[in-house]
Amino acid sequence: MANWLTGKVVEKTQWNERLFSLCIAVEFNGFSAGQFVRVALDIDGERVARPYSLVNKPGEGLLEIYFNIVPEGPLSPRLAELKVGDEIFVTDKANGFLTVDEVPECKHLWLMATGTGVGPFLSILKTENVWQRFEKVVLGYSVRDLSELSYRKEIEKIAQEHAQQFIFVPFVTRDKVDGAIHQRMPLSLEDGSVEEKTGFRINEQDSHVMMCGNSEMIKSVTEVLEKRGLRKHRRREPGHLTTEKYH
């Protein structure tokens, strides 16, 4: 049984017609950057919950989630209707292994996200640990159109603060956007365009890849990188690929 904490929505951001962020004030004990919590509302006499990764860094005081409306879903359309001051429920513990602490020693960390999967990586990028551990950190962020490229100001701030270590690679598949790659991540790895943009190649000697978002992206990118000799990371068998799926 989950132990539920009662929180309040203190800030709401609507990025486009289907993408939202909520900041929640709640007495929460802490988490590791990259983890997720379960968020719930009482709907028709039932507490309906779904997992959402946290966007904020640990210790900020508020919990922030980033989500898209699933039209047929029981929870996300209701979350999108919430207003500042409304009640919301959060589990008292965070979970998940998409954290820097789980990554073996390496030089280059690649964070590959589609859509709302960028949330846990933003949390990671706001912490000091990631910059102390890796020589280079790449954020690949894939969306369909420019309106879905959320948190641009936050990403620009990270880029300014860590200019020598951080590389941001946006993928926008349906709009022509200056500086963005106009195809999906798996194809960009196969043809080398993403690595041409960063100046170095993903390899089994000095790279680790964390992936979050669309399950098809995770499957396809994994297949491309396994051909190079990279393998899934497990605690008992350290590897190069760490994943978190929303589906």
Where would I find the H helices in the chain?
Answer: 76-81, 119-125, 129-133, 152-161, 185-190, 193-198, 215-226
Distance of alpha carbon 183 from alpha carbon 193, whole angstroms: 10
Residue at token pair 């959402």: 52
Number of H helices, E strands in the chain: 7, 11
CB count within 10 Å of CB 134 equals: 21
pLDDT in tens, 64-121: 999 999 999 999 999 999 999 999 999 999 999 999 999 999 999 999 999 999 999 9
pLDDT in tens, 127-169: 999 999 999 999 999 999 999 999 999 999 999 999 999 999 9
Phi-psi region at 151: left, alpha or beta (left = phi > 0; alpha = psi -120 to 50)? left
pLDDT in tens, 113-132: 999 999 999 999 999 999 99
pLDDT in tens, 184-219: 999 999 999 999 999 999 999 999 999 999 999 999
